[in-house]
Chain A
Amino acid sequence: MSETEEVKAFYKEKHIAFVVDQDSHRSFEYWLSEHLRMNGLYWGVVSLVIMNALEDALPQNEVIDYILSCWDEKTGGFGAFPKHDAHILSTTSALQVLKIYDNELQVLGEEKKEQTAQFIKGLQLSDGSFQGDRFGEVDTRFIYTAMLSLSLLDELTIEITDPAIKFVMACQNFDGAFGMLPGAESHAAQVFTCIGALAVTDNLHLLDDDTKLGNWLSERQVLPSGGLNGRPEKLPDVCYSWWVLSSLAILKKKHWIDLQKLEDFILECQDSKDGGIGDRPDNQTDIYHTCFGIAGLSLIDFEKYNFKEIDPIYCMPTEVTKKFRKWKK
């Protein structure tokens, strides 16, 4: 027990205001600029829904209007911003938000659902991996988001998943963890996307001994802060409270890190004055770190904070994901 026995507060109302208040974000050019706008919307929605504050805070019809305005007529799928080319990441964020509001995605309609599925399937390459868009960038993040999106659309098939998962397994490194491409450096965010892809496609059994991986993940916790980093010898960052902890949760090994210390770290990254959560204590806050700080707290102890429980595979509330038709091989 700590000396002072101080109970750290979670500044819920301030965080809600932070997410909703557009004006205060004008200076956060990077996170809310056009190419991340759809992702930013998803991060905001997840933050609010986990805090049980979504309905009152954001007008549902405006959110849906925005998402639909990002529909790419040429290819199907969604861009980050109106008139942007569709991309797998913005498509996934769009689907996740729509699915939180409506499990049947009625607002999309059958035709758009079909076109979106075609867009995603069209991004798969012959080696099983996925491009983000026709620019051609390949990264295991895109495999995960593709699997996730196709799962949300009930469009997974073995012809898609088998080669994709083969590629994912080729990305496992000598340290037991995963990188963005075969042979690339292990990185916690890539570990999450690889494990997530395995989980969504009913392939977790392929990790026949996940001890080494669990070990690598548990080594992300650093002292004295108690925060988590993304790879050895890097600084802790609140977003890894999600990437690392959700990975451990999927492997049923959350307790392999010190959850109390991590919780304290996340709480210390809050801005108690203006709301929002930053990557490290006393640093600039933003919507991305706010989302994953809150998601981390939900994974640690959702009941304590009166949060909704978050699903570590989908990064969406479990009350939403339990309605999914989960695909089995």
Chain B
Amino acid sequence: MSDYNFDDVEPVKINEEYPQLCQILYDEEYTKTMGILLALLQKSEYSERAFFLTQKGIELLASHYTIWIYRFDILIHLNKDLFEELDWCEQIALENEKNYQIWNYRQLVISRIVATTDKSSSKKFEPHREFPILEAMLDSDPKNHHVWAYRKWFVEKFALYDDSKENEFVNGVIAADLRNNSAWSHRFFLKFSQDKEINKQVFEAESEFVQAMIADSPQNPSTWNYLTGMYNKYKQSLSELEEFCLKFVQFVDGQVQAVESSYALEVLAKIYEVNKTDTSVALYDALALKYDPIRVNYWNYQKRNLPVAQN
């Protein structure tokens, strides 16, 4: 507070005037900072000292969305350097991992840069600039839902679906943890969100890739969801997966055995629904009784909905 003078500002008394139900025991620094900040906000003052104070406010309570809005308004009014703002924002992000207002704010700043910069300018926004901060955040918490959502926005904004660095990144996260559902979700988004119709080449390559990942760790919900998701999206026949699924289960005298993946059982039951209904029944029974008994009601529901077995 020492660089700027706030003597002329009458601080808002943030505790005294309010109903009993919202008394919060603030410390002195919080009360002083927020009191002056709110007073400046009420006066619509867009100044360097106000800007400075928004930083203090955010450092005290990064989830106070009113302060973020105020800061952005000042940023625009004073025509401040937006790239410097992005750098500052990264520091706050690293110190407040659970905060998501930061990412919305970042979108606002980047959108503003893009909107106000000529495409041919040397000052235009270079997307790969974002990669280090995103990597740092996801390194620290590989399943951070808000950062992945931001990353998705970013891919859309700069059309990075086929960007080699972006794909390398998501492959890296998958390699580090095959069970990271966020990474698989992002991969699906990169590979398939753009194509309404099937791209055979991409489809087959992905199918092969996911099957290899499943082989590495057969009881992984993310990879199975991904695989069946692909087939569903492009209306491909699940029976193409029969041979693959049979790697994870054996039938001995009609009995289900040597099961390495309950998901394989589920897919096979779907595949055999019409032409080998009895086997579907056996598979649902195996799931209900042994391989996934916590969902017995779901398996029985699936069984009841099978087409009537042909005798």
- The chain A residues found within 8 Å of chain B, CB to CB, are 22, 26, 32-37, 41, 62-63, 65-66, 69, 79, 81-85, 87, 132-137, 173-175, 179-181, 183-187, 211-212, 214-216, 218-219, 221, 223, 226, 231-234, 253, 255-258, 261
A-B contact pairs, 22 of them (CB 8 A): A35-B61, A35-B63, A37-B24, A63-B21, A65-B21, A66-B19, A81-B22, A83-B38, A85-B69, A135-B65, A135-B101, A135-B104, A173-B229, A174-B229, A174-B232, A183-B189, A185-B149, A186-B185, A232-B181, A232-B225, A233-B221, A257-B295
CB distance from A22 to the nearest CB of B (A): 7
Of A180, A214, A219, the contact of B149 (CB 8 Å cutoff): A180
- Residues of A near B23 (CB, < 8 A) are 22
Which residues of B171-230 are within 8 A (CB) of A? 179-182, 185-186, 188-189, 192-193, 221-222, 225-226, 229-230
A-B contact count (CB 8 A): 137
- The chain B residues found within 8 Å of chain A, CB to CB, are 12, 14, 17-25, 38, 61, 63-66, 68-69, 72, 100-101, 104-105, 107-108, 143, 145, 148-149, 152-153, 156, 179-182, 185-186, 188-189, 192-193, 221-222, 225-226, 229-230, 232-233, 294-298, 301-302
Majority SS of interface residues in chain B?
Answer: helix
Of B24, B179, B180, B225, the contact of A33 (CB 8 Å cutoff): B24
A34 touches B301 (CB 8 A): no
- Residues of B near A133 (CB, < 8 A) are 65, 69
B19 touches A33 (CB 8 A): no
6 other A-B residue contacts (CB within 8 Å) besides A174-B232, A233-B221:
A35-B65, A66-B22, A69-B18, A137-B101, A183-B193, A258-B294
CB distance from A296 to the nearest CB of B (A): 17
CB distance from B189 to the nearest CB of A (A): 5
B66 touches A41 (CB 8 A): no
Also in contact, A174 and B225, with CB within 8 A (given A32-B24, A256-B298, A257-B294): yes
Please name the residue on chain A nearest to B223 by beta carbon.
A232
Of B19, B152, B221, the contact of A62 (CB 8 Å cutoff): B19
- Residues of A near B64 (CB, < 8 A) are 34-35
A232 touches B221 (CB 8 A): yes
Also in contact, A37 and B143, with CB within 8 A (given A134-B69, A181-B152): no
B225 touches A218 (CB 8 A): no
CB distance from A131 to the nearest CB of B (A): 10
Please name the residue on chain A nearest to B263 by beta carbon.
A219
Of B17, B104, B145, B149, the contact of A136 (CB 8 Å cutoff): B104
Of A84, A214, A233, the contact of B179 (CB 8 Å cutoff): A233
B66 touches A256 (CB 8 A): no
Please name the residue on chain A nearest to B98 by beta carbon.
A30
CB distance from A81 to the nearest CB of B (A): 6
B101 touches A26 (CB 8 A): no
Complex: A137 Cα to B63 Cα, angstroms:
13
CB distance from B299 to the nearest CB of A (A): 10
Complex: A136 Cα to B104 Cα, angstroms:
7
- Residues of A near B225 (CB, < 8 A) are 174-175, 216, 232
7 A-B pairs with the lowest CB-CB distances in the bound complex, closest first: A174-B229, A185-B185, A66-B21, A137-B104, A232-B221, A175-B225, A232-B181
Please name the residue on chain A nearest to B21 by beta carbon.
A66
Also in contact, A215 and B298, with CB within 8 A (given A85-B65, A136-B108): yes
- Residues of B near A175 (CB, < 8 A) are 225, 229
- Residues of A near B186 (CB, < 8 A) are 185
A234 touches B24 (CB 8 A): no
Complex: A272 Cα to B38 Cα, angstroms:
41
